Amino acid sequence: MRDIWIVADNSAWADVMVTCAKGIAVDAEITLFKLALPADGLWESHAAPLAEKAKADKPAFILVEGSKRGRDLAAQVAALIDAPLFTDGRNIKAEGNTVTAETLVYGGAAIKTVSTEAPTVLVTIGAKDYEPTAGAAVAEGSVSPAAGPKVTARKPRPAQTVNLGEAAKVVGVGRGFSEEAELSAARDLAAAIGAEVACSRPIAEFFKWMPEECYIGISGQVLKPDLYLAVGISGQAQHVFGVRDAKTIVSVNKDAECPMNQNADYYIVGDWKEVLPALIAAARR
């Protein structure tokens, strides 16, 4: 029977991690630490108190939400109790005293399988990596945050007009487009098939043709749509990672050998200027 702690700031995260915990050990004894965001302090200020408790109770696993706060907190706890931490760990297996997990390296180009004999193992869990288990009966744990840096303001991001995470179909645009005005062709396609529009990182970060929450990648949006249609995207590992679990990937790129074409279920080699109108026409029929 393994003691598994789950550390989250809301139920949505908790429900995902419950599934993960049950996957590690079907009879796991789960304790949920639902820690609130302090009004004028960092969420990560729960790290030291959590570590204290972990030293005493010695759980087999501490699963932490794979958010930015979660990664910071998990790493601090790991250092304080001298334990290993698997960031965005997947395929977590516990056999006897050995725990193995998979992480992604080289921007998603490779899967690293690691093992440890450590008595307590921390893992941050990706939001989309497990289906949520709602309403599971779990024990509740709590700690109070320690003193720490002051948060003097929180400025919410302007409301997203799209929720890419919920979109069943997504059209992605990349550097195959040379001007912002050209994106209208992709938007027309998206409208024709009922898709949302997203992009590769340079389009948002460098050219700023789309807001940052629209870029797909290992440090951006990680999506699981039914259909991902990449247009003019070369398909660097960091980008492909963001849609690796899409049901179907389609790519349109004039470079036959590009990674996006090679990582697609279906691909058309050609200039989007020709292909998109043909697709729109076909979709409308």
Partner 1 sequence: MKKIAVCYKWVLSDADIRVNEKTRELDMEKCKPQISEYDRNAIECGVQIKKAAGGELVGMTAGAAVTASTKDALSRGLDTVSFLEDGVMKDADSTTTSKVLAGMIKQIGDVDVVICSEGSSDEYARQTGPRLAALLGWPSVSYVSKVTVSGDSFELERKMEEGTEVVSVAAPVVISVLPDVGEAPIPGVKDILGAKKKPANAVSLGDIGLSADAAKPLTAVKSVLAPVTSRKNVHLNPDGVSIADAAAALVKQLSADGVL
Partner 2 sequence: MLLTEDQELIQGMVREFAIEEVAPIAAEIDKTHEFPHATVKRMAELGLFGLTTPEEYEGSEGDTVSYSLAVEELSRVCASHGVILSAHVSLCVFPIFKFGNEAQKKKYLPDLASGRKLGGFGLTEAGAGTDASAQKTTATLQGDKYILDGAKIFITNGGVAETFVVFAMTDKAKGNKGISAFIVEKSFPGFSIGQTEDKMGICASSTTEIIMKNCEVPKENLLGNEGDGFKVAMATLDGGRIGIASQAVGIAQGALDAAVEYAKERVQFGKPIAANQGIQWMLADMATRTECARQIVRHAALVKDSGARYSKEAAMGKVFAAEAAMWVTTKAVQVLGGIGYTKSYPVERYMRDAKITEIYEGTSEVQRMVIAANLLS
Contacts to partner 2 from residues 150-189, by CB under 8 A: none
Map residues 249-268 to x or -, x wherever contact with partner 2 holds by CB under 8 A.
Answer: ------xxx-----------
Alpha carbon distance 234, 200 (integer Å): 9
How many Å separate Cα 53 from the centre of its chain? 28
CB of 208 to partner 1, least distance (A): 13
DSSP category for residue 210: S
> How many Cα neighbours within 13 Å face the side chain of 33?
28
User: What ranges make up the beta strands (E) of 163-265?
Assistant: 169-173, 196-199, 227-231, 248-253
C-beta closer to partner 1: residue 123 or 173: 123
Q: Any idea which residue has 């999506």 for tokens?
A: 223
| From partner 1, partner 2, none, interface partner of 136 (C-beta below 5 to 8 A by class) | none
DSSP-derived 3-state class of residue 200: coil
C-beta closer to partner 1: residue 40 or 57: 40
C-beta closer to partner 2: residue 71 or 175: 175
CB atoms within 10 A of CB 70: 23
**Per CB under 8 A, which of residues 216..255 are in contact with partner 2?**
255
How many residues bind to partner 2 according to rule CB under 8 A? 3
Transcribe 37-63 into DSSP letters.
PPSSB-GGGGHHHHHHHHHHH--SEEE
| From partner 2, partner 1, none, interface partner of 255 (C-beta below 5 to 8 A by class) | partner 2
CB of 64 to partner 1, least distance (A): 12
CB atoms within 10 A of CB 229: 27
C-beta closer to partner 2: residue 109 or 256: 256
CB of 261 to partner 2, least distance (A): 11
> Residues with Cβ < 8 Å from 181, sequence gap 6 or more?
none
Which helix H or strand E contains 143, and what residues bound it?
none
C-beta closer to partner 2: residue 10 or 262: 262
C-beta closer to partner 1: residue 139 or 282: 282
Q: Are 64 and 70 in contact (CB under 8 A)?
A: yes
CB of 185 to partner 2, least distance (A): 21
| From partner 1, partner 2, none, interface partner of 190 (C-beta below 5 to 8 A by class) | none
| From partner 1, partner 2, none, interface partner of 201 (C-beta below 5 to 8 A by class) | none
Instruction: List contacts with partner 2 (CB under 8 A).
Output: 255-257
